[in-house]
Amino acid sequence: MPRVPQKNNHPAPVRFNSISGDAGYEFIDACPNAFGSITAAAGPGNNEITRRNFIRCSAGLACTLALSARVLANPDLFPEENQKFIREARYYEKLPNKKIRCQLCPRQCVIDDRERGYCGVRENNSGTYYTLVYARPCSLNVDPIEKKPFFHFYPGAAAFSLATAGCNVNCKFCQNWEISQTRPEDVRSYYLLPEEIAAQARKYSCQAIAYTYSEPTVYYEYMMDCIQAGRKQNIMNAVVTAGYIARDPLVELCKVVDAIKVDLKAFSESYYKDIVNGELKPVLESLVTMRKLDVWTEIVYLVVPTLNDSEKEFKDLSVWIKTNLGTDIPVHFTRFHPQYLLKNLPPTPVQTLELARDIAVSEGLNYVYVGNVPGHPGENTHCPGCNRIVVRRSGFTVEEINIKNGLCQFCKFKIAGKWGI
């Protein structure tokens, strides 16, 4: 991911823990329970807090939370230090002989006693299924919403972004594999209840909470409670997901979330099988469900050289989107960089991204972008009515907006999205 200079129109972001080194912001540690030190955040939007006050507040909160957590988790089943992160899972079926079937994602793992699901963050203990990552974020940052990327959702907004360990797929190109492909015990985490997440988001003047970096589906219970806590504070909620989620939990999510970005990894089952360790069909079904339930959705397609970059695949993808989701859904063709288990391939040539964009536009899609190429003209939003630039971007920075009340300022064409302006 490209590094991006700090912008002046955002409050100074806070970083609790590094994830992949791809953020360009100046981050400040602010969680003493993990690192033992705190630095006052400088910049607009930050409230000064003394070390003493912070420790005092944290200690009081920690005591309260520790007591409440003991009520919710069976202390006999898990190591004491992990009990506060344990909650019973919402979507699963009990089977004979202490087995369970997880119903959170299409994988439908059948799990024996004391074993975990494919995601690595849910465990069957004596026939009851638990999430191990409730209130256990391992990455916290304030990011521009464009970094997710959302290009048609409150441009320039700051998103309080969080993730826990775990993922229900295993993409060979994952840029956050240090947290997504590991178990919660193996990464440093924090203990932050949903109300605290909402409070932190508010403190740092974030208009949205973003569930991102790893796969929010695997910390579904925590995400849903954070969403509710955020809504109480008038903070929006945006989910960044692979869309590999079962229908029932997705429908519940769609009722409360403001925007979803789906990483559509490819348009072939073979790619999903070989590179993603998942399936395409359920992801397409999820996209259709989101569309039917009228959730603002954007699609990212990471173009990996030689694996999902054929003209036919771009065309088939575009036709499917147009037919099933309509022409107004933004599609981002983003650049691959060698990562994790795919280090033998080069970065995506910019020409390939431009080709993908041209094909999608020629098939009738209105909002098609080139991503991970800072400064590329394909980052701008053009009005489908007059073709003039209505949002000019450079990297994650919004330089110019020509939208008012959701309409193009030049020709009054309605620009699809949630603009807040």
Partner 1 sequence: MKRREFIITGCRASGAALLTSPLILLAQNNARNDSKSRVVIASDAQIQNNKDSADSDRLARLLDKAMQAFGRTDDPLKAWQKIIKPKAVVGLKVNCLSGHGATRRELVEAVCERLRQSGTRAENIIIWDRFNSDLEDGGFKINQSSKGIRCFGNEYLGFADDFEMFGSAASLICNTLSRVCDVVINLPTLKDHGIAGMTMSLKNMFGAIHNPNKYHLNTGNPYVADVFMLPSIRSKVGLTICDALTAQYEGGPSFFPHWRWQFNSLLIGADPVALDYTGWQIIEAERKKRGLHSLKESGREPKYISTAADENHRLGRCDPGQIEQVAI
Contact positions toward partner 1, by CB under 8 A? 78-79, 97-99, 109-110, 112-120, 170, 181-183, 185-186, 277, 341
Nearer to partner 1, 76 or 294 (CB): 76
What is the 3 state secondary structure string of 182-231?
Answer: CCHHHCCCCCCCHHHHHHHHHHCCCCEEEECCCCHHHHHHHHHHHHHHHH
Nearer to partner 1, 49 or 342 (CB): 342
Least separation in angstroms between residue 82's CB and partner 1 is 9
Nearer to partner 1, 82 or 327 (CB): 82
β-strands 208-211, 236-241 pairing: parallel
Pick from 271, 267, 237: which is nearest to 254 by CA? 237
**What is the spatial distance between Cα 185 and Cα 391, in angstroms, rounded to a whole number?**
43
Least separation in angstroms between residue 108's CB and partner 1 is 12
Least separation in angstroms between residue 118's CB and partner 1 is 6
Least separation in angstroms between residue 60's CB and partner 1 is 29
Provide CB contacts within 8 A for 156, sequence distance 6+.
Answer: 9, 10, 144, 145, 146, 398, 401
Least separation in angstroms between residue 96's CB and partner 1 is 9
Pick from 172, 345, 176, 178: which is nearest to 274 by CA? 172
**What is the spatial distance between Cα 161 and Cα 22, in angstroms, rounded to a whole number?**
14
Nearer to partner 1, 29 or 115 (CB): 115
Nearer to partner 1, 54 or 340 (CB): 340
Structure-token pair, residue 384: 């489908």
Nearer to partner 1, 171 or 416 (CB): 171
Least separation in angstroms between residue 167's CB and partner 1 is 10
Least separation in angstroms between residue 292's CB and partner 1 is 31
Least separation in angstroms between residue 97's CB and partner 1 is 5
**What is the spatial distance between Cα 248 and Cα 89, in angstroms, rounded to a whole number?**
14
β-strands 100-102, 92-94 pairing: antiparallel
Least separation in angstroms between residue 113's CB and partner 1 is 4
- Strands of 122-125's sheet in order across: 87-88, 128-131, 122-125
Nearer to partner 1, 183 or 392 (CB): 183
Nearer to partner 1, 101 or 202 (CB): 101
Nearer to partner 1, 172 or 202 (CB): 172
Least separation in angstroms between residue 290's CB and partner 1 is 27
Contact (CB, 8 A) for 345 and 304: yes
Examine residue 338 and say whether the peptide bond preceding it is cis (omega within 30 degrees of 0): no
Least separation in angstroms between residue 16's CB and partner 1 is 20
Nearer to partner 1, 114 or 281 (CB): 114
What is the helix (H) or strand (E) element at residue 92, kind and residue range?
strand 92-94
Pick from 241, 67, 219: which is nearest to 130 by CA? 219
Residue in the block written with tokens 């259709």: 288
DSSP state of 116: B
Q: HSE on the CB side for 114, CA within 13 Å? A: 2
Nearer to partner 1, 274 or 400 (CB): 274
**What is the spatial distance between Cα 255 and Cα 270, in angstroms, rounded to a whole number?**
32
Query: What are the φ/ψ torsions at residue 52 (nearest 5 degrees)?
Result: -65, -45
**Dihedral sign for Cα atoms in the order 378, 384, 388, 390:** negative
